[in-house]
């Protein structure tokens, strides 16, 4: 069975990867080439799904790009996981569980939007959403272990 400290290390690593991918998504969104079908995403699925997803009305919440929320959220979640891993902070541990559950829930919404509303996918977004679902599962594991 996976011990609690290993789960926090996994959260930290996953948050670093998701943070880096969120930066890539934000850069690609504002790149001059974002509207051209020459990005990495177009090589994966044949059309520039990243541009379509990032230009949609679902790409922002309250006027702020979703990747910005991702960057802030993944840094906070990673920092809380680091605190929980290094120190005995029950508040940080509870916040990690809540953060993992929120992250997974939001990624489910973004996957729904890409699949059923936009009918196209952003490659980087799919990876971030996959990581978020893994974080959700880890959060549930931590919640179960806590009881």
**Cβ–Cβ under 8 Å, residues 32 and 88:** no
Tokens of 82: 């680091």
**Which of 12, 4, 8, 11 is closest to 145 using CA atoms?**
4
* Higher per-residue confidence, 124 vs 30: 124
Residue 37: pLDDT above 50? no
Which residues, 6 or more positions from 13, have their beta carbon under 8 angstroms from its beta carbon? none
Which residues, 6 or more positions from 119, have their beta carbon under 8 angstroms from its beta carbon? none
What proportion of the chain, given as a percentage, has pLDDT over 90? Answer: 61
Question: CATH topology for 4-146?
Answer: de novo design (two linked rop proteins) (1.20.1440)
> How far apart are alpha carbons 58 and 71 in whole angstroms?
17
Q: Where are the domains of the chain?
A: 4-146
* Higher per-residue confidence, 75 vs 24: 75
Residue 58: pLDDT above 80? yes
Q: What is the pLDDT of residues 95-128, one digit of tens each?
A: 999 999 999 999 999 999 999 999 888 888 999 9
Banded pLDDT at 42 (limits 50, 70, 90): very low
Residue 44: pLDDT above 90? no
State residue 145's pLDDT score: 82
Banded pLDDT at 3 (limits 50, 70, 90): low
Residue 43: pLDDT above 50? no
State residue 48's pLDDT score: 57
Residue 38: pLDDT above 80? no
State residue 56's pLDDT score: 87
């Amino acid at each position: 069975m996976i011990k609690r400290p290993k789960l926090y290390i996994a959260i930290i690593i996953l948050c670093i990867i998701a943070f880096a991918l969120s930066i890539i998504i934000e850069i690609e969104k504002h790149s001059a080439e974002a509207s051209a079908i020459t990005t990495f995403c177009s090589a994966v699925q044949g059309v520039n799904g990243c541009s379509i997803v990032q230009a949609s009305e679902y790409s922002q919440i309250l006027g702020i790009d979703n990747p910005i929320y991702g960057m802030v959220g993944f840094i906070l979640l990673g920092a809380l996981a680091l605190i929980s891993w290094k120190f005995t902070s029950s508040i940080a541990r509870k916040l990690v569980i809540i953060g993992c559950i929120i992250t997974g829930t939001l990624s489910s919404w973004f996957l729904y939007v890409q699949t059923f509303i936009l009918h196209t996918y952003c490659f980087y977004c799919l990876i971030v959403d996959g990581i978020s679902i893994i974080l959700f599962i880890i959060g549930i594991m931590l919640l179960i272990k806590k009881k």
